[in-house]
């Protein structure tokens, strides 16, 4: 077979690549995971009774913006270490640092405006259970995100698993905001971050096992 014939044969079998396939896969995973977390939250914890009035306050949307920002940054980061032969997720990590600084800045301002006793109480009030509640609500989101990342054939499995865990836990935290009655930024900027970081660590640990291909 001549070279020109081989080129012609190969070019005739080229299939069009769906550039939206990756975005659609992650959208499906996050929607299914968030729906599962919402159902689990409704059964185990329940939606807070004053949700109708609290959504009119600015602090509620600031509270919701924190995991939303982390989820958006994690989504950008997971696309970089997910596929083979991609550059490290430097941009995603720097974006996540900006989200973390946002949470800590709100936490500091809130604590400085409170009396010392009130500031200490808001740190320990219901704090010990919050990270574990987030882990529980991540049960539906984590497998869904792992499925989406696995389909991209990642090579840096531990890094991809960590970012996938962060994406799954931040999505679950968004759902958890509909239940958690604590409105102090000093509370959720710390305890929510611990819950999200815990699943990121679990994702880094399980990444080489779950994302191997």
Question: What would the pLDDT profile of 18-56 be if each residue is shown by its tens digit?
Answer: 667 778 889 999 999 999 999 999 999 999 999 989 999
Give the angle subtended at the CA of 200 by the CAs of 171 and 46, to the nearest 5°: 35
Rounded Cα distance between 192 and 92, Å, is 19
Residue 7 is predicted with a pLDDT of: 65
Task: Find the DSSP H helices in 89-184.
Answer: 90-112, 116-124, 130-150, 157-176
Please state the rounded mean pLDDT for residues 153-178.
Answer: 93
* pTM of this structure: 0.77
User: DSSP string spanning 77-106?
Assistant: HHHHHHSTT----HHHHHHHHHHHHHHHHH
pLDDT at 4 over 80: no
Cβ(126)–Cβ(182) under 8 Å? yes
Tens digit of pLDDT for each residue in 77-122?
887 655 554 443 433 444 445 555 545 454 444 444 444 444 455 4
Distance CA 136, CA 140 (A): 9
């Amino acid at each position: 077979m001549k070279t020109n014939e081989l080129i012609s044969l190969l070019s005739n079998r080229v299939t069009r690549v769906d550039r939206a396939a990756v975005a659609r896969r992650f959208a499906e995973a996050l929607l299914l995971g968030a729906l599962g977390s919402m159902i689990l939250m409704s059964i185990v914890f329940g939606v807070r009774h004053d949700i109708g009035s609290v959504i009119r306050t600015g602090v509620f949307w600031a509270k919701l913006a924190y995991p939303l920002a982390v989820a958006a940054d994690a989504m950008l980061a997971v696309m970089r270490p997910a596929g083979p032969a991609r550059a490290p997720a430097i941009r995603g990590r720097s974006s996540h640092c900006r989200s973390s600084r946002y949470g800590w800045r709100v936490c500091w301002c809130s604590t400085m405006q409170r009396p010392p006793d009130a500031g200490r109480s808001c740190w320990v009030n219901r704090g010990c259970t919050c990270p574990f509640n987030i882990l529980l609500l991540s049960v539906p989101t984590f497998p869904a995100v792992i499925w989406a990342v696995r389909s991209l054939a990642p090579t840096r499995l531990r890094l991809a698993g960590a970012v996938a865990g962060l994406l799954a836990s931040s999505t679950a935290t968004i759902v958890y905001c509909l239940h958690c009655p604590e409105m102090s930024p000093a509370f959720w900027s710390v305890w929510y971050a611990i819950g999200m970081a815990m699943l990121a660590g679990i994702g880094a640990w399980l990444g080489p096992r779950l994302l191997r291909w």
